[in-house]
Amino acid sequence: MEKFFKLKENGTTVSREIVAGLTTFFAMAYIIFVNPQMLSATGMPYGAVFLATIIASIVGTLVMGLFANVPYAQAPGMGLNAFFTYTVVFALGYSWEQALAMVFLCGVINVIITVTKLRKLIIKAIPESLQNAIGGGIGIFIGYIGIKNAGLLSFTSDPGTYEMLGDTVVASSAAVPALVEFNNRGVILALIGIVLTFVLLVLKVKGAIFISIVAITIIAIPMKIVDLSTIDLTQNTLADSFSQLGETFGAAFGKKGLLSFFDDPSKIPQILMTIFAFSLSDTFDTIGTFIGTGRRSGIFDEADERALEEGKGFKSKMDKALFADSIATSIGAVFGTSNTTTYVESAAGIEAGGRTGLTSVVTAILFFLSMFLAPVVGIVPTQATAPALIAVGVMMLASFKDVIWTDLEDAIPAFFATIFMGLTYSISNGIAFGFIFYCIVKIVRNKTKDISPVLWVATLLFIANFIILSIIK
């Protein structure tokens, strides 16, 4: 194990990697339940999506750990599953089988751009100032997820300023956030969790984040937020889920899926634009996560950056990690789920000490066990994992120290990358606005030579993507 994962070389131990894997899993375990709930609204069988979610997570995370030897976990991405459900199926009227076919093709495109080094060229083209902004922006983003999951925010929207998409309320910018009243058990538990987590971190207790998750889950029992009597291992049996999996496995390639694209040739341009939107968001979510977490933690160090730039094939950890991420989406689509991507919640495990693929292997094992113990995994309340995400957000803000905020050439792109990443709940949106304003600033200052051809192309693709999304919706 030491030789395979190079634990000493990466300054870690087996026990630290196990704790990191546990921390990552519990920080993202919600996807096991949220993804089937969201995709089943399209008519997909819940049990099949439940299994597809777990299988895609296991395969993607194992490849990340065993092939790339980095501590990142993968699962169907939030945001991308919403795009799948509410835009592609509900708004555009495609069947879920057709949507799966689009996701599969998106995965194929991602494999191609990874093998041909296009993803690597994009990473190399991102200016250092923006890389630092992306790291800090992810801190804002993941901290905001934690605060929201803790239940500390409420949103008020005026009548007539929202619409219903299925069971989901989509409010306009008239929605105003506010701090909730501290008068219910869930909020009080979250506050206890936040205090406990930061006390343990300040005291430099080993495994502080994981300890806080376990402790808050235990505290939630007498507070009656967790009800152990609701655990029923016989409900939604695995056999039922596997029988439903037959409905989604390979559905992307059938008559209702990929083959149906040619039934109406007039829709092919719209299909291509939708696949492009899937691919662009997936690609930059992953790139942003790697840059934001890997640079600060040293997972992708200077030697790895040189290997990325100068090496051929899959010589660097980044090359391997990008490849692992790219194949996971197609695998997930084959089984029956939306885009699989590298989870920003992996940062929780990284901050807990995870530095190698052993962290990912532990997370993948836990995903496998959750197949049998889903009701048990489900008892961990969001109030227990939310403080961990807030803590990680605080730590990742350190990247901002390398942004020259007194120089508007640095500050303007950094601000827009950060603010849109956090407030639009999207890493790729933040990168898009960072790129766009970086180009604008350089044009105004007559420094267009500072903009690499790859950055020009990426920026134009982002602009095209915003236009396409406004058209296809």
Task: Spell out the alpha helix ranges (H) of 41-117.
Answer: 46-63, 80-82, 96-115
CA-nearest of 263, 268, 358 to 11 is 358
pLDDT per residue rounded down to tens, the chain (473 residues): 888 999 999 899 999 999 999 999 998 988 998 899 889 989 999 999 999 999 999 999 999 999 999 999 999 988 789 889 988 998 889 999 999 999 999 999 988 988 887 877 888 888 888 988 988 888 898 888 889 989 999 888 877 677 766 666 777 777 888 999 998 999 999 999 999 999 999 998 878 888 998 999 999 999 999 888 777 766 556 888 899 999 999 999 999 999 999 888 888 888 988 998 888 888 888 888 888 787 667 787 666 666 666 656 666 788 888 888 889 999 999 999 999 999 988 988 998 899 999 999 999 999 999 998 877 777 889 899 889 889 888 888 888 988 999 999 999 999 999 999 888 888 888 999 999 999 999 999 999 999 999 899 999 999 998 888 787 65
Provide the whole-model pTM. 0.80
User: Domains of the chain: which residue ranges?
Assistant: 2-472
Question: Taking the alpha carbons of 250, 40, 285, 434 in that order, is the dihedral positive or negative?
Answer: positive
pLDDT of residue 236: 56
- On whether the CB atoms of residues 105 and 393 are closer than 8 A, the answer is no
pLDDT of residue 204: 84
pLDDT of residue 64: 95
- On whether the CB atoms of residues 141 and 133 are closer than 8 A, the answer is no
**Alpha carbons 390 and 396: distance in angstroms, whole number:** 10
State phi, psi for 281 to the nearest 5 degrees.
Answer: -65, -45
Q: For 149-187, give one letter per residue: b (16+ CB within 10 A) or e.
A: bbbbeeeeeeeeeeeeeeeeeeeeeeeeeeeeeeeeebb
Question: Taking the alpha carbons of 226, 231, 235, 241 in that order, is the dihedral positive or negative?
Answer: positive
- On whether the CB atoms of residues 389 and 146 are closer than 8 A, the answer is yes
Residue labelled with tokens 């730039």: 309
pLDDT of residue 295: 67
pLDDT of residue 62: 96
